[in-house]
Amino acid sequence: MSKVQSVIAYIGLGSNLDNPTQQVESALQELTALTHSTLLAHSSLYKTRPVGPQNQPYYINAVASLATTLDAEELLDQLQAIEQTHRRVRGTERWGPRTLDLDLLIFGEATIDTPRLRVPHPEMADRAFVLLPLSEIAPIGMDIPGMGRLQDMLRIQSGEGVERLD
């Protein structure tokens, strides 16, 4: 019997509807209950301007790290199940308001490009609201597969519109 190897995954969390701070904090608690996974760390919460349509409330964002023996699509299934418990509605408006958004940002050293899942998250290098909280919990010198060093990406981001909450 072979032992299943654990992978470190990073999850982006965001909400801007129905008490966003509570939505994100609740989702962080729910991540502790994922099967075959252990929550390792999570960042501070950040208040951020919305991407896309600006006629929506500010977001609360965070990043969490998990050790998991699930494969990437199994983990995605569990993340989407958490979104559903938070009444996530997937509308036609891209970057529209939502009660909870859980994005699989990084899955170990894997590069995944399927119709259902792209990892590392293809837009993370352009999003200070992902990079800043990720930098709180990621190892120093982290290299994101196919994208480069986290610290190099952070230098490019101004961090404008991203406020760390206490």
Whether 88 sits among the annotated catalytic residues: the reply is: yes
The pLDDT score that the predictor gives to residue 1 is: 46
Q: What is the CB-side half-sphere exposure of residue 113 using CA atoms within 13 A?
A: 4
- Which phi and psi (to 5°) does residue 91 adopt? -90, -175
Task: State what percent of residues in the chain have pLDDT above 90.
Answer: 75
Residue-averaged pLDDT of the chain: 91
Of the listed 71, 77, 88, 149, which one is catalytic?
88
CB 131 within 8 A of CB 149: no
Whether 71 sits among the annotated catalytic residues: the reply is: no
Of the listed 77, 101, 113, 126, which one is catalytic?
101
Q: Does domain 7-164 have CATH number 3.30.70.560?
A: yes
Of the two residues 56 and 52, the one the predictor is more confident about is 56
Whether 152 sits among the annotated catalytic residues: the reply is: no
Task: State what percent of residues in the chain have pLDDT above 70.
Answer: 92
Model confidence at 53, pLDDT cuts 50, 70, 90, reads: confident
Cα–Cα distances (Å) from 140 to 25, 149, 153, in that order, read 25, 10, 13
Give the three-state DSSP class for 59. Answer: strand
The pLDDT score that the predictor gives to residue 74 is: 96
The tens digit of pLDDT for each residue in 84-128 reads 888 766 665 566 678 899 999 999 999 999 999 999 999 999 999
Following DSSP, what letter does each residue of 119-163 receive, concatenated? Answer: ES-TTGGG-HHHHHHHHHHSPTT-EETTTEEHHHHHHH---TTEE
Whether 103 sits among the annotated catalytic residues: the reply is: yes
Of the listed 77, 87, 90, 98, which one is catalytic?
98
Give the residue extent of every domain in the chain: 7-164
pTM recorded for the entire structure? 0.93
Residue with tokens 């964002």: 61
